[in-house]
């Protein structure tokens, strides 16, 4: 298919080659020039002072980023009530599907001291701490949140990741445990059962490091809060073999609920409040024999948040028991507000009796708080290897 | 030609080339630059001529790389086998329905990539009638499944990239002068020999273009593996995505992406050297640059 | 016996067409599934043939009930519209230059156009992200638009160029003979005849933009496009309205394409054709609005 070139053809070829070369050099020069204007180090967290969120008149516009399914969206819902009571117009966005994913999306802007227009994020304990350590959050003054700190459950007043509640306020809490399809696998009672070859290929685990590995460590009798890096790595190894042998079908996010619904799996590590998402009457959440993991999703105020006054107003508002009870009724997770249980009993709701929404001390006696490993990097790397196959 | 007239093509090409250079070529440079940095999110990424990132990213993920080559290769082959007859039919036998069929080929694009793949996930779920039929036909073991296997991922890749194979094939086939085939037959060639000796060679540029446009994007895909695969089906794309968005190990992610890009460039340049850039656009003889 | 033999012969003759029909059906399977799901009160994730849990049109009537979904869809449509207009304009200009003019650097230009088409989206998305990160450029609609235009340009160029190559220049010469200036010729002869190719390119660019997930995922910041919204909710259970809207989108696109085709057929019946070939004005590459 090659045409034969005349001398003229070859000359113009050469010219064209030169043209291409010149262009390439020009582009490279331009790029280097552009690069010279940039920094030597990119990223690394915002240094400098941490600001405190300013209180003030509650009015104007408020944008909140939260997980899906965490509030009643309807016309009678909490958001609408808040708007009516305060006159604030709320833009409630359900775009936190994953702590890391959300963080990854916002990080470049947070780095610049901007929050993408949002005044409140709701993220899990350890992510809140990570954001705070990087200087991406503002601190909250307890005096600005009278209702909240009056009604906050004592057990949540001083968590390990934020002992003075300087930057976070719980939204809802929950438990990580096992979802079981009781019709197909009634015998599953412990995380160890998930490794039983009987259920090969019909089991999933959460892809979140701090959800899955602590549970596995608990099943081995290790207390995750005191675990050494080696303990973490050993547990990860065990999970890795199970994954490679095909015992574990997938590592999931929230989508384990789909697999349960469609019958692809018989058991999954999952969250206590997801009943509304699992459309399988045979499936139920079980407390693992050796204990569950406890976590909270927290409201935080990012740097550069517009209208922090309204944000603080919202945070205080949802701690009024009458408001909190509506949220719990819809969401079915554990409320951080005192007095909600009594109100529910008054309404005759089943939820008041449920261990999933109001777990007793006994119920969660063996449960562990979610925590990060002593040295995050090597553990994270090992974990990522397992997840990405 | 006046100077103004001579400058016209440059004006016409200018905006486009500029856009492509600034937003395609330059970012490649930045990716390379990022690949030479070291550090983490907390410490910041400092430029340190960290050449080690390149071999490190490869060695850490050889399994996924090999797997990706295998999946993409198989999917491309399947797409070729499925797509060629379809393209042929549309070019020569469709008559009035040609445009309709062509539209049907790109129609799936309008439902968005994710929804299509999720639909397949539902169709192939363990309890679905489709899998039941496959089990009866013994194509799938009785207690086996389709999802979360390599087969599902390859099927997904094939389906999603089929249009990228069909369209270049069609463009090339459409230009085929059937009289050449007739001539072969007049010279007592059988249909099959005519196909192998006349049609196939003449449509080879289309085939190669289709293969390249299918294989390379499939290589970098991660959605199919994520939705249809299990723990052992991750591809290079999944790794890159995880490194960038979850682990935020930008240097390693950039190194891996850059190497992929280099591989692609080599393959494409080799092909262009061999057949001319015009061939890539689907024509056999024009535009030999 | 004869009947069987004739049936067999018919089968052999039409085997290719039958195959084509099957292949096309295969391509449309997910679309059908999505449409079926949009009518069903079937539990999410379960495929049950026969809408036994109830056939309902409630998701169609409430199709626009989810504000986030609507916003995501609107964002996608706006993005696709802008990106299509810009990419088509730029791409058409490039195609004209490539086919009708001589200049230096043709090879480079070809290379620059062709390579993006063959690059995996992960690499394009990631490299753009690298550059945006480097300059601390805020991710959002603008970055999305930039990315979408970038990957659409190549496809537009290829389509329009294909159309231009098969173009009958006699018509333009005739116009020139009749005293028309180059600009007028371009406006009244070239452009209208080129139109189907341009429209096909625009349609393809629009489809690519609406469909894009990977590149958008890397470069969207907090802006949510339709595919990104679906990705988000897919982890939690897709609201059935998504299926209804996806089907709607498809139907609208199909109708638009059908209208374009019909319009084009009418136009071509009135236009002149190249004498030595059959009525065929040359076909664009991914030719949706191709000539007969």
pLDDT digits (tens, 9 = 90+) for C116-167: 887 888 888 888 887 887 787 777 889 999 999 999 999 899 888 877 776 7
Q: Which residues of B touch C226 (CB under 8 A)?
A: 112
Q: A147 pLDDT exceeds 60? A: yes
* Contact flag A100-B245 (C-beta cutoff 8 Å): yes
CB contact under 8 A, B45 and A30: no
Domains assigned to chain C? 1-56 (no CATH), 66-270 (1.10.3720.10)
User: In the B/C pair of chains, how many CB contacts fall below 8 A?
Assistant: 313
Mind telling me how many Å the CA of B206 is from chain C's nearest CA? Answer: 11
Residue B281 has pLDDT above 80, yes or no: no
**Three-state secondary structure along A30-58?**
HHHHHHHCCCCEECCCCCCCCCECCCCCC
Q: Which residues of C touch B161 (CB under 8 A)?
A: none
Cα separation, A358 vs B258, in Å, equals 52
Chains that touch A (3 or more CB pairs under 8 A): B, C
Cβ of B112 within 8 Å of Cβ of C230? The answer is yes
Q: What is the per-residue DSSP string for B137-192?
A: TTSS-TT--STTSHHHHHHHHHHHHHHHHHHHHHHHHHT--HHHHHHHHHTT--HH
Q: Which pLDDT tens digit goes with each residue over C82-105?
A: 999 999 999 999 988 888 887 878
Query: What is the reported pLDDT for A299?
Result: 93
Residue A44, chain C, CB below 8 Å: the answer is no
Tell me the shortest Cα–Cα distance from C174 to chain A, in angstroms. 32
Contacts of A38 in chain C (CB under 8 A): 134-135
User: Measured between beta carbons, which residues in chain C are less than 8 angstroms from residue B106?
Assistant: 204, 207, 286, 288
pLDDT, average across residues C248-277 = 69
From the CA of B198, how many Å to the nearest CA of chain C?
A: 19
* Average pLDDT across chain C, whole number: 78
CA distance C123 to chain B (A): 6
| C60 vs C45: CA distance, rounded Å | 19
* C51 pLDDT tier (thresholds 50, 70, 90): very low
Q: Which residue has the higher pLDDT, A218 or C258?
A: A218
Query: Which of C43, C221, C236 lies at the smallest CB-CB distance from A254?
Result: C236
The winner for highest mean pLDDT among A230-234, A358-362, B263-267, C42-46 is A230-234
What's the rounded Cα separation, in Å, for the pair C284 and C269? 18
- How far apart are the C-alpha atoms of C119 and C96, rounded to whole Å? 24
Burial of residue A282 (number of CB atoms within 10 Å: 0-12, 13-18, 19+): middle
Q: Is C263 exposed, middle or buried (0-12, 13-18, 19+ CB in 10 A)?
A: middle
Is A365 in CB contact (< 8 Å) with chain C? no
A101 reaches B (C-beta below 8 A): yes
Question: Residue C279 has what pLDDT?
Answer: 44
Average pLDDT score over residue span C277-281: 44
Tokens of B7: 């400058």
In this structure, of A305-314, B37-46, B82-91, C84-93, the range with the lowest mean pLDDT score is B37-46
Show which residues on chain C lie within 8 Å of chain A, measured between beta carbons.
43-47, 68, 104-108, 132-136, 138-139, 220-222, 224, 232-237
Q: Within 10 Å of residue A228's Cβ, how many Cβ atoms? A: 12
Q: What is the pLDDT of residue C147?
A: 92
Chain C contact present for A114, CB below 8 A: yes
**Domains located in chain A, CATH noted:** 61-173+295-359 (3.40.190.10), 174-294+369-387 (3.40.190.10)
Residues from chain A that touch C220, judged by Cβ atoms under 8 A, are 105
d(CA A258, CA C44): 7
Average pLDDT over every residue of C249-275? 70
| CATH number for the domain running over B63-280 | 1.10.3720.10
Dump pLDDT digits (tens) for A195-214.
988 888 889 999 888 889 99
Whole-angstrom Cα distance, residue B95 to residue B80? 23
CA A315 to chain centroid? 19
Best CA proximity match to B88, nearest among C259, C20, A86, C70: C20
Q: Is the pLDDT of residue A367 over 70?
A: yes
Element (H, E) at A62: strand A61-65
Interface test with B, best of C14, C25, C35, C47 (most B CBs within 10 A): C47
Cβ–Cβ under 8 Å, residues C292 and C262 = no
Task: Flag if B232 and A262 touch (Cβ within 8 Å).
Answer: no
Among the partner-chain residues C49, C100, C157, the one whose CB lies closest to the CB of B129 is C49
At residue A236, the pLDDT reads 93
ipTM exceeding the 0.85 mark: no
C-chain residues near A98 (CB < 8 A):
235
Structural domain boundaries of chain B? Answer: 63-280
pLDDT of residue C128: 87
Q: Using a CB-CB distance cutoff of 8 angstroms, which residues of chain A are in contact with residue C134? A: 38, 42
Other chains touching C, judged by 3 or more CB pairs under 8 Å:
A, B
Using the beta-carbon criterion (under 8 Å), do A108 and C136 form an inter-chain contact? yes
- Which residue does chain B place closest to C33, by CA atoms? B119
Decide if pLDDT at B79 tops 90: yes
- Nearest CA to C24 out of B87, B287, A164, B280 is that of B87
Please judge whether C68 and A112 are an interchain contact, meaning their C-beta atoms are less than 8 angstroms apart: no
Q: Tell whether A93 lies on the interface with B, counting CB pairs under 8 A.
A: no
Chain B residue at shortest CA distance from C77: B110
Classified as helix, coil or strand, C114 is: helix
Residue C121 with chain B: CB contacts under 8 Å: 217, 220-221
Determine the residue of chain B that is closest to C26 in CA distance.
B159
Contact between chains at A109 and C221 (C-beta distance less than 8 A): yes
pLDDT at position A40, please? 52
CB contact under 8 Å between A250 and B44, yes or no, is: no
Distance (Å, whole) CA A217 – CA A215:
5
- Assign residue A232 a region: left if phi > 0, alpha if psi is -120 to 50, beta otherwise? alpha
Closest by CA to A270, choosing from A207, A369, A177, A371, is A177
């Amino acid at each position: 298919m090659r045409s034969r070139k005349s001398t003229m053809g070859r000359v113009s070829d050469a010219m064209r080659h030169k043209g291409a070369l010149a262009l390439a050099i020009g582009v490279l020069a331009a790029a280097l020039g552009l690069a010279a204007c940039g920094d030597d180090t990119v990223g690394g967290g915002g240094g400098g002072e941490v600001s405190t969120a300013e209180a003030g008149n509650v009015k104007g516009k408020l944008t909140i980023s939260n997980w899906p399914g965490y509030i009643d969206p309807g016309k009678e819902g909490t958001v609408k009530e808040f708007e009516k009571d305060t006159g604030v117009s709320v833009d409630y966005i359900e775009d936190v599907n994953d702590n890391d994913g959300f963080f990854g999306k916002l990080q470049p802007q947070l780095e610049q001291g901007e929050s993408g227009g949002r005044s409140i994020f709701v993220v899990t304990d350890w992510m809140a701490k990570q954001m705070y350590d990087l200087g991406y959050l503002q601190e909250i003054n307890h005096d600005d949140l009278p209702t909240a700190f009056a009604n906050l459950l004592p057990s949540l007043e001083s968590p390990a990741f934020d002992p003075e509640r300087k930057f976070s306020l719980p939204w809802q809490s929950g438990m990580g445990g096992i979802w079981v399809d009781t019709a197909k696998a009634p015998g599953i009672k412990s995380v160890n059962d998930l490794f039983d070859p009987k259920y090969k290929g019909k089991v999933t685990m959460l892809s979140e490091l701090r959800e899955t590995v602590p549970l596995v460590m608990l099943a081995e009798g290790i207390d995750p809060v005191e675990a050494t890096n080696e303990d973490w790595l050993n547990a990860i190894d065990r999970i890795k073999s199970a994954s490679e042998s095909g015992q574990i079908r997938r590592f999931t996010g929230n989508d384990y609920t789909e697999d349960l619904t469609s019958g692809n799996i018989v058991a999954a590590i999952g969250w206590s409040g997801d009943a509304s998402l699992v459309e399988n009457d045979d499936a139920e959440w079980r407390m693992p024999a050796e204990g569950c993991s406890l976590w909270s999703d927290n409201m935080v105020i990012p740097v550069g948040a517009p209208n922090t006054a309204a944000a603080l107003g919202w945070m205080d508002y949802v701690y009024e028991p009458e408001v909190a009870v509506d949220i719990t009724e819809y969401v079915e997770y554990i409320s951080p507000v005192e007095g909600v249980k009594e109100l529910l009993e008054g309404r005759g709701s089943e939820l008041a009796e449920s261990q999933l929404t109001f777990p007793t001390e006994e119920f969660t006696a063996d449960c562990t708080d979610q925590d990060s490993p002593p040295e995050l990097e090597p553990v994270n790397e090992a974990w990522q290897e397992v997840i990405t196959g | 030609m006046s100077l103004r007239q001579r400058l016209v093509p440059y004006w016409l090409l200018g905006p486009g080339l500029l856009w492509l250079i600034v937003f395609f070529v330059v970012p490649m440079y930045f990716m390379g630059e990022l690949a030479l940095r070291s550090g983490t999110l907390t410490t910041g990424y400092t430029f340190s001529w960290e050449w080690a990132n390149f071999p490190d990213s490869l060695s850490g993920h050889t399994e996924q790389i090999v797997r990706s080559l295998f999946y993409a290769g198989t999917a491309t082959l399947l797409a070729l086998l499925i797509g060629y007859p379809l393209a042929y039919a549309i070019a020569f036998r469709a008559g009035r329905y040609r445009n309709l069929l062509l539209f049907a080929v790109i129609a799936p694009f309008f439902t968005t990539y994710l929804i299509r793949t999720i639909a397949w996930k539902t169709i192939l779920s363990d309890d679905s009638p489709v899998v039941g039929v496959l089990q009866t036909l013994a194509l799938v073991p009785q207690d086996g499944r389709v999802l979360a296997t390599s087969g599902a991922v390859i099927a997904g890749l094939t389906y999603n990239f089929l249009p990228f194979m069909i369209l270049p094939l069609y463009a090339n086939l459409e230009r085929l002068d059937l009289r050449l085939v007739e001539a072969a037959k007049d010279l007592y060639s059988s249909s099959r020999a005519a196909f192998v000796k006349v049609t196939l060679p003449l449509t080879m540029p289309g085939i190669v273009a289709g293969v390249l446009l299918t294989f390379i994007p499939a290589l970098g895909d991660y959605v199919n593996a994520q939705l249809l695969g299990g723990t052992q089906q991750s591809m290079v794309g999944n790794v890159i995505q995880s490194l960038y968005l979850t682990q935020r190990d930008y240097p390693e992610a950039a190194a891996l992406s850059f190497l992929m890009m280099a591989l692609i460039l080599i393959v494409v340049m080799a092909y262009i050297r061999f057949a001319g850039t015009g061939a890539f656009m689907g024509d056999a003889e024009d535009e030999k640059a | 016996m004869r009947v069987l033999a004739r049936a067999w012969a018919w089968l052999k003759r039409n085997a290719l067409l039958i195959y084509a029909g099957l292949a096309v059906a295969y391509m449309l399977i997910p679309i059908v599934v999505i449409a079926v799901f949009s009518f069903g009160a079937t539990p999410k994730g379960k495929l049950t043939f026969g809408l036994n849990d109830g056939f309902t049109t409630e998701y169609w009537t409430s199709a626009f009930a989810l504000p986030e979904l609507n916003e995501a869809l609107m964002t996608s449509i706006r993005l696709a519209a802008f990106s299509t207009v810009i990419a088509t304009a730029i791409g058409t200009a490039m195609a004209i230059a490539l086919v009708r003019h001589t200049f230096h650097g043709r090879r480079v230009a070809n290379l620059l156009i062709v390579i993006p088409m063959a690059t995996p989206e992960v690499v394009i998305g990631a490299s753009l992200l690298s550059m945006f990160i480097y300059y601390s450029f805020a991710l959002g609609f603008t970055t999305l638009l930039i990315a979408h235009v970038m990957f659409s340009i190549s496809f537009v160029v290829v389509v329009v160029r294909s159309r231009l190559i098969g173009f009958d220049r006699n018509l333009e010469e005739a116009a020139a003979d009749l005293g028309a200036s180059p600009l007028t010729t371009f406006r009244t002869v070239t452009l209208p005849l080129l139109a189907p190719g341009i429209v096909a390119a625009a349609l393809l660019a629009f489809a690519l933009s609406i469909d894009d997930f990977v590149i958008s995922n890397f470069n969207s910041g907090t802006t949510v496009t339709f595919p990104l919204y679906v990705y988000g909710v897919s982890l939690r259970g897709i609201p059935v309205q998504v299926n209804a809207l996806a089907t709607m989108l498809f139907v609208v696109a199909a109708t638009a394409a059908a209208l374009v085709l019909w319009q084009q057929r009418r136009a071509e019946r009135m236009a002149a054709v190249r004498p030595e070939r059959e009525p065929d004005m040359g076909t664009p590459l991914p030719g949706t609005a191709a000539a007969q």
